[in-house]
Structure 1
Amino acid sequence: MKRFALIGAAGYIAPRHMRAIKDTGNELACAYDINDSVGIIDSISPSSEFFTEFERFYDHAWRLKRDPATALDYVSVCSPNYLHHPHITAGLRLGCDVICEKPLVPTSAMLDDLALVEKETGSRLWNILQLRHHQAIIALKDRVQSGKQDHKHDVELTYITSRGKWYMESWKGDPRKSFGVATNIGVHFYDMLHFIFGRLQRNVVHFANEQKAAGYLEYENARVRWFLSIDANDLPDSVKGKKPTYRSITCDGAEIEFSEGFTDLHTVSYQSILDGKGYGIEDARHCVETVETIRTLALSRPMDNEGHPFLAHLLG
């Protein structure tokens, strides 16, 4: 049984990490968040210590380190995006391996720094890239790899996940903290595209504001038109008023069904990490570089067949 600490226990994604720790037969020994709305712990790991000040959490973890019987083995990071780097390095310097949500960090330079801290501490950093474990994604990757290697598939990615007014008031609505909508809700899709279709060759952004972004990506084996949004007004008429989320990926005109099978992917990811087969810094580099470029590119008018269909009502 491994002993875990969790940073960011009140966050949206934290319960999936708590359950993954429990379902893989391990113990959540302590948790930290500046917010105290963490009653979910009672139903998953009621004996876990909890702190609302990082200094007290870190001091407690350091004291646990003195005794091999109580020392932490892993620190899981679910804090806001802009805090990932300091929380990861704190975990590594405690002598723990660290499991972090995506986006790992916002820039490739920060990835280089994390690699240096890994070397200094001898501990490992693992990234949750759960779509790589989804059976529909794995099947598509196998199909692409078994086909003609010089063929470019035509892919259309659409992801609209409605968010209320609270979103822009939270850290997620602050681009200094979330790094923008393409990074915050899109980074795992860009990792998925790289995982399936290979190296990125071209990156173009057609539209970007606080609530949505769209562009074109060309990979070794795909041409991708993408659209991401947190605005409910972008939902297709077939979904509007019925569901708050619309997720669609088509490849050569055929829909890739992957709306199911998400429930246990964090647990699968944890088990893979515990088995020493998880995804580390270099696995995350491609998607970090992709979103870093998206954030810095000047907007371009879409060329023929490169603009996502949802762009029409935005560009006029």
Structure 2
Amino acid sequence: MYNFAITGVAGYIAPKHLQAIKETGNNLVAALDPHDSVGILDQYFPDASFFVEFERFERHLDLLRRKSDSERVHYLSICSPNFLHDSHIRLALRIGANAICEKPIVLNPWNLDALEKIENETGRKVFTVLQLRLHPSILELKNKVENEIRKNPAFKFNITLDYITSRGLWYDFSWKGVLEKSGGLATNIGIHFFDMLIWIFGEPLHSSVIQNQKRSMRGELELKNANVKWHLSINYEDLPEIAKRNNKRTFRSIKINDEEFEFTEGFTNLHTLVYKNTLDGKGFSINDARPSIELVYKIRNNINF
């Protein structure tokens, strides 16, 4: 049994991490969030120490580090806002723990280089949650694509990605609506899909941003084996009429050679599977995350190539 701590425990994604820690047979000993609406801890780890100040949380973890191996924190799960990931990963490595960080690991590619140096100095590792790589339908798609490319290495798939997940006015006033804190739409809601596409269809060769607005982005991307047209939006008006008629606020579509790729189901236990693989030594590393981090940085800054 490993001891875990967690940052951002009051956030949207934290329950998936709490469930994963529980289902892999481990223990949560400490949690941090400036907001104290964390009653969900009662469902998983009611005895975990809880902090609303980072400084007291950091001191507590440092005190545990100085005790026996059975009491120290072995893994720090990071569910805090994107701009805090780098700092919280550094905390994990400094206290002798490995980090399991939500996407994106960092906002800027050069921060990855610095974290790799700290990994080497401390002997600890940084892992991330690329759960789409474990989705059964996506694994099946990757296998089909690899078979096609083996037969015809120069083949290019044509892909259209539309992801509209409407958000109210609150979004603009939260950290998610601040470019310097979230990385914008391409980073905050698009990183999952860009990682998946690069993983399946190969490295980015060319990228052009056609629209770069706060609530809507469009672009074209050439990968080694695919041409991609993508659209990301949090505007309700961008939803197709059929979604509006059915009172849906989210529309997700990936078409590959004009054929809809369906992967709506199969998300239930992906975080738990990510944790299991990480604890078994098969986690997703900084190098796994790097290509998509570099791409969304260029998209965010209108760097066409």
TM-score range, shorter chain: over 0.9
Contact 1:207–1:299 under 8 Å retained in 2: no
Classify the secondary structure of the residue corresponding to 2:220: strand
Unaligned runs of 5+ in 2: none
On the 8 A contact 2:207/2:304 being kept in 1, the answer is no
Superposition deviation, residue 44 in structure 1: 1.4
The one-letter code of the counterpart of 2:225 is: N
Match of 2:78 in 1: 77
Deviation for aligned residue 1:129: 0.5
- Cα distance between partner residues in 2 of 1:108 and 1:298: 14
- 2:199 and 2:139 map into 1 onto residues whose CA distance is 9
Q: Is the 8 A contact 2:101 2:126 kept in 1?
A: yes
Total equivalences in the alignment? 300
Q: Which letter maps to 2:37?
A: S
- Structure-2 residue corresponding to 1:126: 127
Distance in 2 of aligned mates of 1:186 and 1:122: 31
Paired position in structure 2 for 1:271: 276
Q: Which amino acid aligns with 1:20?
A: A
* Contact 2:166–2:236, Cα closer than 8 Å, also in 1: yes
Amino acid paired to 2:276: Q
Residue in structure 2 matched with residue 143 of structure 1 by the alignment: 144
Aligned counterpart in structure 2 of residue 180 of structure 1, from 184, 195, 203? 184
TM-score of the superposed pair, with normalisation by structure 2: 0.96
For 1:271-298, what per-residue CA distance to the aligned partner results, in whole angstroms no more than 9, with x for missing partners? Answer: 1100000110111000000001101226
Partner of 2:61: 61
Question: Percentage identity across aligned positions?
Answer: 49
Question: Quick one: which amino acid aligns to residue 29 of structure 2?
Answer: A
**CA deviation string 1:237-278 (max 9, x = no partner):** 010142111011111111111011112111111111000001
Note if contact 2:145-2:201 (Cα within 8 Å) is conserved in structure 1: yes
**Structure 1 residue aligned with 2:262:** 257
Query: Map of 1:211-226 to 2, 5 A cutoff?
Result: 211-226=215-230
Aligned with 1:4: secondary structure? strand
Q: How does 1:94-109 map to 2 (within 5 A)?
A: 94-109=95-110
Is the CA contact (8 Å cut-off) linking 1:127 and 1:280 kept in structure 2? yes
Check if 1:86 corresponds to 2:87.
yes
**More moved, 172-181 vs 62-71:** 62-71
Q: 3-state DSSP class of the match of 1:142?
A: helix
Q: Structure 1 segments of 4 or more deviating over 3 A? A: none
User: Aligned pair in 2 of structure 1 residues 60, 228: CA closer, same or farther (>3 Å)?
Assistant: same
Aligned counterparts, 1:36-51, within 5 A: 36-51=36-51
Structure 1: distance between partners of 2:215 and 2:302: 17
- 1:5-20 to structure 2, matched below 5 A, reads 5-20=5-20
Structure-1-length-normalised TM-score: 0.93
Read off the aligned partner of 1:27 and give its amino acid letter.
Answer: N
Match status 1:247 vs 2:247: no
CA displacement at 1:299 relative to structure 2: 8.1
Preserved CA contact (<8 Å) 1:157 1:248: yes
Distance 2:142 2:70 in 1: 43
Query: What stretches of structure 1 of length at least 5 have no aligned partner?
Result: 301-316
- 1:153-164 equivalent positions in 2, closer than 5 A: 153-164=157-168
Query: Whole-Å Cα distance in 1 between the matches of residues 85 and 303 of structure 2?
Result: 27
Structure 1 equivalent of residue 116 of structure 2: 115
Q: Deviations over 1:204-234 (max 9, x none)?
A: 1000111010101111110000000111110
- Does residue 1:168 correspond to 2:165, yes or no? no
Counterpart-to-counterpart distance in 1, 2:241 and 2:173: 28
Q: Distance in 2 between matches of 1:110 and 1:248?
A: 32
